[in-house]
Amino acid sequence: MFLISFLKISVVILVLCCAIPASGAGKIYLGVFDNDKEKSLSDLSGVKKFEQDAGKKVAIIHVFQAWGALDGRNQFDSNAMDMIRKHGSIPLLTWAPRALHKKENQPEFALRNIIDGKFDDYITKYALDIKAWDHPLFLRFAHEMNGTWYPWSETVNGNHTGEYVQAWRHVHDIFSREHVRNVTWVWCPSRKQTNPQKLHNLYPGDEYVDWLGMDGFNDTRKRPWQSLEALFGDIYRELTNISAKPVMIAEFASMEDGGNKARWIRRALNVTIPERFPHVFAVVWLNHKFSPELDWRIESSTTAQQAFAEAVSSPSYIGNNFHSISTSPVPAP
């Protein structure tokens, strides 16, 4: 009799436990990057247009700064960060050691120059300005390092194997030395791996990274139409083998040509990300039109816009509830 009662109680407890969802299960930060590097960082007009068309405000606003930008545009902009925070969003700041409007061969920004301390004054001031701002942000330093198109790739610009990790750690160490506690470090390769090195050889280590990232696009100009799972499947598996850190898709989008963009969006947001990529806790759509044939925007067609709005209306995609976030590193939702 005692055994039967015990089994009944155990079954009830098991049913109740299974019925209670894990805290934050299935939640994903929604973000946007409108990629207009000529605009002021405080100009949120593109973000607001995207939000209107998406039917939801965003949790993450992605902006870009280059170390070699002129007229002070390479300095930390606390006013712009304040505007993003007041909007209820978390800044995702791509911080790129390069000059704008130039290609990968930029000797001034060779990795050895970073390692040898030639940018230490600039890095220290930037770190102290972030510290003074004193709110959480994502910092995506020297992204897509596994490609060949940026001056910090180890295969271009006179760089050598092993220097990327040294440069990353050097920059991170300056922030640590200055006791900067409000930065969430995002290490973000590209899905297009032209670098013969494995990603783990470019990884600075868990003590230097808070989030993993990955970028990729359904670009039919040089390859066939690809689903989001085809784009990111290999790199996702490699990232999650490297570390258990949370993952963000820091840049992604699809073209219209070659397939059905609306169907692509629905499949990506409703099925692939939540079911195939359970370690992805943030997605940032690149909403920019580079040319008539290269239009990543959700507004490239009415059907694409409607599909995106329907997909992100799910409560799984979190909007702008972060006016007062104070936790660093930014946790997975």
* Residue 50 C-alpha from the chain's centroid: 18
CATH code where residue 110 lies: 3.20.20.80
| Sign, CA torsion 67/71/73/75 | positive
In a domain, 43, yes or no: yes
In a domain, 8, yes or no: no
62 Cβ contact partners less than 8 Å away, ≥ 6 residues apart: 31, 32, 33, 92, 93, 94, 250, 251, 284
Instruction: Report the domain count for the chain.
Output: 1
Alpha helix stretches (DSSP H) within the chain: 2-19, 45-54, 78-86, 111-115, 120-133, 163-177, 228-242, 261-267, 302-312
Please give the backbone phi and psi of residue 95, each rounded to the nearest 5 degrees, phi first: -120, 105
Mean pLDDT by 10 residues, the chain (333 residues): 40 34 66 86 94 98 95 95 98 96 93 98 98 98 96 96 98 98 98 74 98 97 94 95 98 97 98 97 97 94 98 98 97 97
Position 197 scores a pLDDT of 62
In a domain, 11, yes or no: no
Q: Which domain holds residue 115?
A: 27-318
Position 189 scores a pLDDT of 97
Position 79 scores a pLDDT of 97
Instruction: Calculate the CA dihedral of residues 172, 240, 297, 87 and round it to 10 degrees.
Output: -50
In a domain, 329, yes or no: no
In a domain, 84, yes or no: yes
pTM for the model: 0.91
In a domain, 22, yes or no: no
